[in-house]
């Protein structure tokens, strides 16, 4: 997109940083709390297939250079519907709502253009939501953290505002 006229220029692979056919999610974050005082542009993409679901996170420097690309498989997840994310000092954070895919509706209605793909998603209030914390690589603290998945009450959120980490007291 042209920054002055907002005219569409075309698709970009970010200077070859994205794989062919790669996508970005709807929202990104600009992280300005880096140790060197710089900012990073953080985005993600999701993939769903017969082998399971995964999220890939990207971090770019202010010069547009890709600094990190990290893929995290989502255990016990066959379909993912994530629209937004959060970033803290050590984690990428996503909320996985209890959303299931209705393959019957997909095969009998969506492929015949009788419903949208969103109408093939089903909210299951009997399943927990999960907060997924995926470690960010190359952190100045040097901490190497494991991924975490925290179950919570069934919920779904489309947009998020902020994330931070509480440091333990003395």
Q: Show binding-site residues for Fe cation.
A: 27, 83, 159
Residue 94: how many other CB atoms lie within 10 Å: 24
- DSSP letter string over 51-97? TEEEEEEEEE-TTS-EEEEEEEEETT-S-------EE-SSEEEEEE-
d(CA 62, CA 152): 36
119 closest CA partner among 109, 127, 130: 109
Residue 86: both structure tokens together: 């959060």
d(CA 114, CA 70): 37
Residues in the chain: 170
Binding positions are 27, 83, 159
């Amino acid at each position: 997109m042209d920054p002055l006229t907002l005219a569409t220029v075309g698709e970009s692979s970010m200077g070859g940083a994205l794989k062919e056919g790669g996508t970005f999610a709807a929202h990104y974050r600009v992280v300005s709390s880096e140790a060197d005082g710089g900012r990073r542009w953080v985005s993600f993409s999701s993939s769903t297939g017969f082998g399971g679901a995964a999220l890939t996170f990207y971090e770019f420097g202010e010069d547009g250079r890709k600094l990190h690309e990290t893929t995290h498989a989502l255990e016990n997840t066959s379909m993912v519907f994530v629209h937004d994310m959060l970033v803290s000092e050590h984690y990428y954070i996503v909320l996985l709502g209890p959303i299931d895919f209705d393959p019957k509706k997909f095969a009998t209605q969506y492929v015949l253009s009788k419903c949208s793909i969103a109408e093939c998603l089903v909210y299951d209030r009997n399943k927990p939501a999960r907060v997924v914390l995926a470690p960010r690589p190359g952190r100045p603290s040097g901490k190497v953290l494991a991924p975490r998945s925290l179950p919570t009450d069934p919920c779904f959120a489309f947009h998020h505002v902020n994330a931070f980490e509480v440091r333990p007291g003395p």
